[in-house]
Amino acid sequence: MIFQRIGSIFIYVCLNLIAHGFHAPRNLFNRRITVKMSLTQSPSLKKVIVLGGDGFCGWPTALHLSDIGHEVIIVDNLSRRKIDVELGCDSLTPIAAIQDRCNVWNSVSGKRIKFKYIDVATEYAELLQLLKDEKPDSVVHFAEQRAAPYSMRTPKSKRYTVDNNLSGTNNLLCAIVESELDIHVVHLGTMGVYGYGTSGGEIPEGYLDVLLPGGRPATILHPAYPGSIYHLTKCLDALTFQFYNKNDGIRVTDLHQGIVWGTNTLQTVRDERLINRFDYDGDYGTVLNRFLMQASLNIPLTVYGTGGQTRAFIHISDTARCIEIAINNPPAPGNVLTSLRLYVYTHAHMYVCLRFSLCSWKNNQMSLVLMPLS
């Protein structure tokens, strides 16, 4: 019952963000950044390996790519499920075993997704052999520990995040070089690599054209300002991509998105066993999910600080479509393409939209609690 209630609230929130958010006052919402790449999509279907394809972003993306005709292979070590055991929590939505998920999708769609259990951070030989055997056109890289709070939780989680994320990225790129295959890497980065301060300028697009001392022109990575170990690994990912591109000519598209929200897509609603994750805990639950849980239980919404923090949000369906566009538009050999697609809201604006959305709920007494920033 609680998820039905949250689902109904979620629909209201989505409708009101669409209806009202795009016309909000400039100090609340004022920017839409679009992908800086050609949207002329190639008609050719490709073989795509999705690393981290059992996760929150990876699973719906894998289904989306399969649904439009690409041959999809999911690679995962199921680490997100193991972290649920560690934290003593679980997705609010019931998540089927990955083998069951794939079998159900293959049955309802008439397509075929394969699953390989590989830890890309530690099982280099298996990853290399998979690339040689399958010869994919593209590899979508989601295989990273994605929660900033978890990355700062304990010394163990800090080390795990660094070991897993950086080793996984380096192993993938090194394996592509050793395989001698021309494989396009599509990586999901984050806006958080630039920090959350207000520079007064446009949101950076990854690289900057600058003049060095003496008037020498150069293109450099935009200065990073990570706020967590997780964001630090994403900054180092960018440096790693730049190096392998310069040194080995690997083609990379690094998509820097904002906070991904939403639960289901057109593909995951076809069977309840395909449903995506809904995390609401303190480590993996994003702010919108946390607000929805609190609102559904008539618990005051906990907004940290003044609520004026500006964050970028993108729906999970748009994440999958961004990956599709990137796959169909690989950069020319020798290029790294960094691009953004997002909508920007403040936490207070989300609270206003959520409160407006709940106006039809009888006896709902939603209130706001401002929490100190630690």
Pairing relationship of beta strands 138-141 and 47-51 according to DSSP bridges = parallel
Active site includes 117?
no
Range of the domain at 103: 34-291+313-346
Considering 61, 190, 240, 319, which one is annotated as catalytic? Answer: 190
Q: What is the pLDDT of residue 69?
A: 97
Structural domains in the chain (count): 1
> Model confidence at 359, in pLDDT bands (50, 70, 90)?
very low
Q: Which two tokens stand for residue 72?
A: 């999809």
Q: What is the pLDDT of residue 337?
A: 65
Give residue 287's region: left, alpha or beta (phi > 0; psi -120 to 50): alpha
Of 141 and 8, the one with more pLDDT = 141
The DSSP annotation for 62-110 comes to: HHHHHHTT-EEEEEE--HHHHHHHHHT---SS----HHHHHHHHHHHHS
165-208 confidence digits (pLDDT tens): 999 999 999 999 999 999 999 999 988 888 876 555 666 667 78
Tell me if 79 sits within 8 A of 145, measured CB to CB. yes
List alpha helices for 180-276, DSSP H.
229-248
Active site includes 230?
yes
The mean per-residue pLDDT over the stretch 107-126 comes to 98
Domain assignment of residue 273, yes or no: yes
Pairing relationship of beta strands 207-212 and 113-117 according to DSSP bridges = unpaired
Question: Residue 6: enclosing H or E segment and its boundaries?
Answer: helix 2-20
> Model confidence at 220, in pLDDT bands (50, 70, 90)?
confident
For residue 58, the domain's CATH number is: 3.40.50.720
279-337 confidence digits (pLDDT tens): 999 899 988 888 888 888 888 887 777 777 777 788 999 999 999 999 998 888 766 66
Q: What is the pLDDT of residue 332?
A: 80
Q: Which two tokens stand for residue 335?
A: 């290029």
Judged by average pLDDT, the poorest of 128-132, 195-199, 235-239 is 195-199
Domain assignment of residue 23, yes or no: no
Considering 124, 150, 194, 230, which one is annotated as catalytic? Answer: 230
Instruction: Examine the pLDDT at 32 and tell me if it is beyond 50.
Output: no
**Cα angle: 189, vertex 194, 197; to 5 degrees:** 140
Domain assignment of residue 117, yes or no: yes
Q: What's the farthest any 2 CA atoms get from each other in the chain?
A: 68
Which residues partner with 256 through β-bridges? Answer: 189
242-270 confidence digits (pLDDT tens): 999 989 999 999 988 888 889 999 999 99
Instruction: Examine the pLDDT at 67 and tell me if it is beyond 90.
Output: yes
List alpha helices for 110-228, DSSP H.
124-134, 148-151, 155-179
Question: Residue 318: enclosing H or E segment and its boundaries?
Answer: helix 316-328
| Whole-angstrom Cα Rg for the chain | 21
Instruction: Examine the pLDDT at 108 and tell me if it is beyond 80.
Output: yes
Domain assignment of residue 17, yes or no: no
Judged by average pLDDT, the poorest of 2-11, 95-104, 328-337, 360-369 is 360-369
Q: What is the pLDDT of residue 204?
A: 61
> Model confidence at 113, in pLDDT bands (50, 70, 90)?
very high
Tell me if 274 sits within 8 A of 106, measured CB to CB. no
Q: What is the pLDDT of residue 150?
A: 96
Active site includes 343?
no
Tell me if 141 sits within 8 A of 188, measured CB to CB. yes
Instruction: Examine the pLDDT at 365 and tell me if it is beyond 60.
Output: no
Distance, CA of 197 to CA of 210 (rounded, Å):
21
Question: Is the full-model pTM beyond 0.85?
Answer: no
Tell me the average pLDDT of the chain: 82
Q: Which two tokens stand for residue 264?
A: 């289901």
Q: What is the pLDDT of residue 19?
A: 40
Domain assignment of residue 112, yes or no: yes
Considering 194, 234, 265, 310, which one is annotated as catalytic? Answer: 234
- Which residues have C-beta within 8 Å of that of residue 170, sequence separation ≥ 6? 240
Domain assignment of residue 4, yes or no: no
Q: What is the pLDDT of residue 316?
A: 94
Domain assignment of residue 97, yes or no: yes
Amino acid at 279: D
Q: What is the pLDDT of residue 116?
A: 98
Domain assignment of residue 374, yes or no: no
Of 1 and 306, the one with more pLDDT = 306
Q: What percent of the chain has pLDDT over 70?
A: 75
